[in-house]
Amino acid sequence: MREKREAKYRVGVIGCGRAGTSRARAFDVHPLCKVVAIADTDAENLTLGCRRFGVPGYATYEEMLARESIDIAMPVLPVRANAGAVVAAAEAGAKAIFCEKPLTARLSAADRMVESCQQRGVYLASGVMVSSHPDYRRAYELAAGGEIGRVERINLYGGNGQGGCHGLNLTRKFAAKAPAEWVVGWVGGDPHSDHEEPYEEGATGFGGVGGYIRFGNGIECSSSFPGPTWRGIEVVGSEGLICNWNNTGLGLRLFKHSGRGAPLVEEEEVFEQYTEEERGYDDEGWQDPGPVMRAIVEDIIRVLEEGGDLAITSGDDLRHALELAVALRESHRQGGTRVSLPLADRSLVMYPEKSRWNYKKDLIGRAAYMEQMARQVEEGT
């Protein structure tokens, strides 16, 4: 059991499984934070989490929120449970909520989550995604600040899975979060399916999502899914280019014009280089939660201390990304017609892949799941 200490922000963990444990650790090591309680319906995970963090445990988040004073709620759950947990945490008085991606499946549920937090002044952050890494945040600023001239076009490569939480979210950020006016889209599978891939009652899947997006500030996006060999983003400006071959990882590059008629020249040492290095363990034997999660914690604490807006990906960002993905599919459903935004029908739904919507222990089996849980902390710690 770790030594207990006082902290300014009390963190309540909702779901202390293979991902939740790592996210909780990132908060727990921040000098202003302390994990004080855990809720998990899986008794095995709950017992292990309570032992690792030295805190009380609850079988439901409702009980935890009723009995504990929680400043930061941290739901890391199968996506189907996200909406209820976020709304309950906001209603219970949390100051900030971190909810893992994707946000949810139904537009009305996304509205309820975001609006419940906005009405109460609660910060809602969502998803451990590279879009929250400091490199990407710098890239948004460079694009908005004219470093590549006037941003004119965004080329997006990838299937926009999980409600567009990677590619479509990045696209909207590089478009300065301007309102999307209309889209024309298509999917790689069945446009009348509500499921990203076939599972449960979904006999078919809609597969990859792509198309054309027109933003209110004139920026246009062309999104396609050429296959597993290429996935990335190109932000094309009148005087340069910001690009990345992998929109779920680091490796951003900045190119600028060197003169009229001359080729683009890459600017050196602007962003970090992409690496696949395995995360190590700290002095207490915990696996490093990674730079993106550390940046997320820092930004949540920044806004709690100073006010302002989240610089990381917010719940509202993922609500807009989901709406874009749904609109692109709706265009295909309607025969490739132009679909205007915002979408009036908030009952529309887009279920993410099976491993996001459902509990992974049920999908991969207890042995494989608990092996992953064991790797989070070195034996004997």
Give 172-195 pLDDT, tens digit per residue: 999 999 999 999 999 999 999 999
CA 242 from chain center: how many Å?
21
Looking at residue 379, its pLDDT comes to 65
Least confident residue range of 129-133, 168-172, 209-213: 129-133
pLDDT for the residue numbered 274? 60
Task: Write down the pLDDT at residue 1.
Answer: 39
Q: For 258-298, write each residue's pLDDT tens digit.
A: 877 778 999 998 997 666 566 789 989 999 999 899 999 99
Of 366, 293, 356, the residue nearest 42 (C-alpha): 366
The tokens of 33 are what?
Answer: 């934070």
Burial 178-201 (b: 16+ CB within 10 A, else e): eebebbbbbbebbbebbbbbebee
Res. 319: pLDDT tops 70:
yes
Is beta strand 9-14 parallel, antiparallel or unpaired with respect to 72-75? parallel
The closest alpha carbon to 171, from 145, 197, 143, belongs to 143
The string of pLDDT tens digits covering residues 114-150 is 999 999 999 999 999 989 999 999 999 999 999 999 9
- Mean residue pLDDT of the chain comes to 94
pLDDT of the residue at 103: 97
When pLDDT is cut at 50, 70 and 90, the band that residue 230 belongs to is confident
Nearest in space to 206 (alpha carbons), one of 362, 348, 364: 348
The CA distance from 376 to 364, in Å, is 18
Say which residues have a Cβ less than 8 Å from residue 340's Cβ, sequence separation at least 6. 181, 182
DSSP label at residue 7: -
In this structure, are residues 38 and 49 in contact, taking their beta carbons and an 8 Å threshold?
yes
Q: What is the pLDDT of residue 91?
A: 98
pLDDT digits (tens, 9 = 90+) for 343-352: 999 999 999 9
Q: Is the pLDDT of residue 2 over 50?
A: no
CA terminus-to-terminus distance, the chain: 9
pLDDT at residue number 259: 76
Average pLDDT over residues 2-25: 87
Give the CA-trace dihedral at 127, 129, 125, 156, to 10 degrees.
-100
Strands across the sheet containing 220-224: 264-267, 253-257, 240-244, 232-237, 151-157, 220-224, 209-215, 180-187, 339-340
Percent of the chain whose pLDDT exceeds 70? 96
pTM score over 0.75: yes
Confidence of residue 5 (pLDDT cuts 50, 70, 90): low
Question: Which of 19-28, 70-79, 276-285 bottoms out in mean pLDDT, i.e. has the lowest?
Answer: 276-285
The CA distance from 212 to 137, in Å, is 24
The model's confidence at residue 4, banded by pLDDT at 50, 70 and 90, is very low
Average pLDDT over residues 10-14: 98
